[in-house]
Structure 1
Amino acid sequence: MKPALLLISHACAALENRKKVQALAAHFDLVCVTSTIEQRTILGRPSSDFDNDSDESSRHYQLIRLPRRGHSDTTFRYAGLSAVMRSRRFDVVLVENEPWAFICWQSLFWKALLQGDALFGEFTWENVERPSWKGLILAAIYRFMTMTTDFIIAGNQAAAQLVQKRGARKEAVHVAPQFGVDLINHQPASPAERKQLREAQLLHTDAFIIGYCGRLTEEKGIKELLQACDELQNVHLAILGSGRLEGWLKQQQKTRPWLHLLAPRPHFEIPSFLRCLDVFVLASKPVRTMELCWEEQFGHVLIEAMACGVATLGSSSGAIPEVIGHDEAIFPHGEAKALAECIRRVMNDTNLAKSQLERARQLYTHDAVAASWAGFIQQRLAA
Structure 2
Amino acid sequence: MKPGLLLISHTYAALENRKKLQALGAHFDLVCVTSTLEQRMVLGRPSSDFDNENDAPARSYQLIRLPRRGKTDTTFVYEGLGDVMRARRFDVVLVENEPWALVCWQTWFWKALLQRRALFGEFTWENVERPGWKGSVLAAVYRAMTAMTDFIISGNKAAALLVQKHGARAADVLVAPQLGVDPANHQPAKAAERAALRVACGLPADGFIVGYCGRLTDEKGLRELVQACESVKNVKLAILGSGKLEGWLKEQQQSRAWLHLLPPRPHFEIPHFLRCLDVFVLASKPVHTMTMCWEEQFGHVLIEAMACGVVTLGSTSGAIPEVIGDEDAIFPHGDAQALAERLRQVMTNGGAMAQRQLERTRTQYTHDAVASAWAGFIQEKIAA
Q: TM-score of the superposition, structure 1-length normalised?
A: 0.99
Deviations 1:191-243 (A, max 9, x none): 11100001111211111000001111111000000110111001000000111
CA distance in 1, matches of 2:263, 2:166: 42
CA distance in 2, matches of 1:124, 1:342: 32
CA distance in 2, matches of 1:249, 1:39: 29
CA distance in 2, matches of 1:381, 1:71: 35
Q: State the 1:348 CA deviation.
A: 2.4
- Please state whether the residue corresponding to 1:305 is helix, strand or coil: helix
Flag structure 1 segments of 5+ consecutive residues without an equivalent: none
CA distance in 2, matches of 1:164, 1:134: 19
Corresponding letter in the other structure for 1:285: K
Deviations 1:91-136 (A, max 9, x none): 0000000000000000000000000000000000000000000000
Q: How does 1:313-352 map to 2 (within 5 A)?
A: 313-349=313-349, 350-352=351-353
Report the RMSD for the aligned CA atoms in angstroms.
Answer: 0.6
CA distance in 1, matches of 2:143, 2:44: 41
CA distance in 1, matches of 2:292, 2:89: 40
Using the TM superposition, name which of 294-303 and 343-352 deviates more: 343-352
How many residues in Structure 1 have an aligned counterpart in Structure 2?
383
Q: How does 1:1-383 map to 2 (within 5 A)?
A: 1-349=1-349, 350-383=351-384
Corresponding letter in the other structure for 1:199: V
Q: State the 1:44 CA deviation.
A: 3.0
CA distance in 1, matches of 2:124, 2:34: 17
Contact 2:74 2:103 in 1 (8 A): yes
In the TM superposition, structure 1's runs of 4+ consecutive aligned residues that sit over 6 Å from their partners are none
Corresponding letter in the other structure for 2:72: S
Flag structure 2 segments of 5+ consecutive residues without an equivalent: none
Corresponding letter in the other structure for 1:224: E
Corresponding letter in the other structure for 2:268: F
Q: State the 1:244 CA deviation.
A: 0.6
Percent of aligned pairs with the same residue?
74
Contact 2:6 2:93 in 1 (8 A): yes
CA distance in 1, matches of 2:382, 2:165: 24
- Please state whether the residue corresponding to 1:314 is helix, strand or coil: strand
Deviations 1:315-338 (A, max 9, x none): 011000000000000000100000
CA distance in 2, matches of 1:9, 1:291: 25
CA distance in 2, matches of 1:103, 1:44: 27
- Please state whether the residue corresponding to 1:219 is helix, strand or coil: helix
Q: State the 1:43 CA deviation.
A: 2.7
Q: State the 1:45 CA deviation.
A: 2.3
CA distance in 1, matches of 2:49, 2:215: 19
CA distance in 1, matches of 2:374, 2:202: 41
Corresponding letter in the other structure for 1:171: A
